[in-house]
Amino acid sequence: MEMDGDAMPAEGMAMDDEMPMAMDGDMAMDGMAMDGMEMGGMDMSAMTRFGPLFGMWSIMMAAMMLPTLVPTLVNYERLMASADGTRAGWLGVLGGYSIVWIGVAAIFAIVQIGLLRAGVIDMMGIAQSTWIAGGLLIVVGAFQFTRAKEVCHGVCHATMNYFLGHWKTGFSGGLRMGMGLGAFCAGCCWGFMALGFVGGMMSLLWMGLATLFMVIEKLPQIGHYVTKPLGVALILGGLAVLGYPFVT
């Protein structure tokens, strides 16, 4: 009995020794979690605030839309001599286009915050459920076959025709035409940008792929021929994500 009495304090001391170690371990894990909130020197908590997200989306919009905006500005340049176009009008087109896409960036930033708070996506902007990821791929793929896509893509694909049908001179005229073109372009490309919630908004590879889709659709020679095949590819990709065996 005395030996048991002696053993009990020893065990208690052992438990007391282990408690600081456990607490140290927990603190270390907390430290790792805090470190995990900073990736590549960027505070990931910024992804929960509108300001940083809006800035991120604005930069992404500029990078994604610049390749598709260049042909539009080139077409206006061609009309400057033959249709009384001016450099001010050219700047108006650029400004109007930018206004629309800044608005789109704000919308996507708000949507991302809402999805994050609802637990639909994680801090990297990746869908937490395969049902959501697969469903989004299918929805965007199905949109490729709609009349809305056809109309919006037709305008974006042939901006010269839009200029000839809606020509207005001066900065204000260019601004109105730029906003109109920006709206049609947003209607055409919103789905590809929304796909960022499948592969992650912070994935340069994934967002680069979305940009590639948009650029290919705007190519004069093949743009009209790739819209529906891209839709089929996206739908099949969505079914594969959902685990349909006949796809995989």
Reading the block at residue 241, the tokens are 């994500």
The larger pLDDT score, comparing residue 211 to residue 231, is at: 231
Split into its structural domains, the chain has a count of: 1
Mean pLDDT of the chain: 81
Pick the residue with more confidence: 10 or 74?
74
Domain-located, residue 1: no
| pLDDT one-digit tens code per residue, 166-177 | 999 899 999 999
In our burial notation (b when 16+ CB lie closer than 10 A, e otherwise), range 174-202 reads bbbbbbbbbbbbbbbbbbbbbbbbbbbbb
Residue 169 included in any domain: yes
Half-sphere exposure of 229 (CA within 13 A, CB side): 8
pLDDT-based confidence at residue 46 (cuts at 50, 70, 90): low
pLDDT at 232: 96
Residue 15 placed within a domain: no
Q: How confident is the model at residue 145 (pLDDT cuts 50, 70, 90)?
A: very high
Confirm whether 67 is domain-assigned. Answer: yes
Q: How does DSSP assign 161-225, residue by residue?
A: HHHHHS---HHHHHHHHHHHHHHHHHHHHHHHHHTHHHH-TT-HHHHHHHHHHHHHHH-TTTHHH
Least confident of 129-143, 153-167, 192-206: 192-206
- Using left for φ > 0, alpha for ψ between -120 and 50, and beta otherwise, residue 43 falls in beta
On the question of pLDDT at 39 being above 80, the answer is: no
Domain extent, residue 188, equals: 49-242
Domain assignment of residue 66, yes or no: yes
Please report which confidence band the pLDDT of residue 29 belongs to, taking 50, 70 and 90 as the band edges: very low
Tell me the whole-structure pTM to 2 decimals: 0.76
What element of type H or E holds 26? helix 2-36
- pLDDT confidence of residue 216: 87
For residue 74, pLDDT over 80 is answered with: yes
What is the tens place of the pLDDT at every residue in 76-116? 998 887 878 889 999 999 999 999 999 999 999 999 999 99
pLDDT computed for residue 71 by the predictor = 86
Question: Span 157-181, mean pLDDT?
Answer: 92
Q: Assess if residue 40 is contained within a domain.
A: no
What's the pLDDT at 158?
A: 87
Rounded Cα distance, 144 and 231, in Å: 5
Residue 108 within a domain: yes
* Any domain includes 99: yes
pLDDT attached to residue 123: 85
